Amino acid sequence: MTATVDLLLYPAWVIPVDAPGVLADHAVAVHGGRIFDVLPTREARLRYEGRNTLELPGRALIPGLINLHCHAAMSLLRGYGDDLPLMEWLKARIWPAEKQHVGRDFVFDGSLLACAEMLRGGITCFNDMYFFPDAAAEAALKSGMRAVIGMIVIGFPTAYAADPDDYLDKGLAIRDRYKGERRLAFSFAPHAPYTVDDATLGRIATLSGQLESPIHIHVHETRREIAESERQYGVRPLERLARLGLLCSQFIGVHAVHLNAGEIETLARHGCHVAHCPTSNLKLASGIAPLTALRAAGVNVGLGSDGAASNNRLDLLGEMRLAALLAKGASGDPTAASAAEVLAAATLNAARALGLEETLGSVTPGKRADLVAVRLDDLQHQPLFDPLSHLVYVAERHDVTHVWVDGETRVADGRLIDLDESDLRARVNYWRQKLLPHA
CATH code of the domain covering residue 35: 2.30.40.10
Give yes or no: residues 203 and 322 share one domain: yes
The pLDDT, as a whole number, for residue 181 is 97
Q: Is the CB of residue 122 less than 8 Å from the CB of residue 399? A: no
The pLDDT, as a whole number, for residue 283 is 93
Q: Which domain holds residue 202?
A: 65-353
The pLDDT, as a whole number, for residue 81 is 87
- In a domain, residue 362? The reply is no
CA 302 – CA 123 distance, rounded (Å): 13
- In a domain, residue 295? The reply is yes
Give yes or no: residues 31 and 54 share one domain: yes
The pLDDT, as a whole number, for residue 155 is 96
- In a domain, residue 196? The reply is yes
The pLDDT, as a whole number, for residue 182 is 95
Peptide bond between residue 429 and the one before it cis (omega within 30 degrees of 0): no
Taking the alpha carbons at both ends of the chain, their separation in whole angstroms is 65
Give yes or no: residues 254 and 400 share one domain: no
Handedness of CA 116, 369, 208, 222 (dihedral sign): negative
Q: Residue 106 maps to which CATH number?
A: 3.20.20.140
Give yes or no: residues 309 and 199 share one domain: yes
What is the DSSP pairing of strand 48-63 with strand 371-375?
antiparallel
Give yes or no: residues 349 and 238 share one domain: yes
Give yes or no: residues 242 and 315 share one domain: yes
Give yes or no: residues 188 and 291 share one domain: yes
CA 227 – CA 219 distance, rounded (Å): 13
Give yes or no: residues 75 and 133 share one domain: yes
Domain termination residue (choose one: 321, 353, 385) = 353
Give yes or no: residues 377 and 267 share one domain: no
Give yes or no: residues 289 and 397 share one domain: no
- In a domain, residue 421? The reply is no
- In a domain, residue 380? The reply is yes
- In a domain, residue 123? The reply is yes
SS (H, E, C) the chain: CCEEEEEEEEEEEECCCCCCCCEECEEEEEECCEEEEEEEHHHHHHHEEEEEEEEEEEEEEEECEEEEEECHHHHHHCCCCCCCCHHHHHHHHHHHHHHHHCCHHHHHHHHHHHHHHHHHCCEEEEEECCCCHHHHHHHHHHHCCEEEEEEEECCCCCCCCCCHHHHHHHHHHHHHHHCCCCCEEEEEEECCHHHCCHHHHHHHHHHHHHHCCCEEEEECCCHHHHHHHHHHHCCCHHHHHHHCCCCCCCEEEEECCCCCHHHHHHHHHCCCEEEECHHHHHHCCCCCCCHHHHHHHCCEEEECCCCCCCCCCCCHHHHHHHHHHHHHHHHCCCCCCCHHHHHHHCCHHHHHHCCCCCCCCCCCCCCECCEEEEECCCHHHCCCCCHHHHHHHCCCHHHEEEEEECCEEEEECCEECCCCHHHHHHHHHHHHHHHHHHC
- In a domain, residue 177? The reply is yes
Could you give the number of structural domains in the chain? 2
Domain termination residue (choose one: 323, 353, 383) = 353
Give yes or no: residues 104 and 143 share one domain: yes
Residue 1's alpha-carbon distances to 32, 48, 108, 176, in angstroms, are 20, 9, 49, 46
Residues of the chain scoring pLDDT < 70: 439
Q: Is the CB of residue 87 less than 8 Å from the CB of residue 398? A: no
Give yes or no: residues 37 and 118 share one domain: no
The pLDDT, as a whole number, for residue 368 is 98
- In a domain, residue 239? The reply is yes
pLDDT in tens, 289-313: 999 999 999 999 999 999 999 999 9
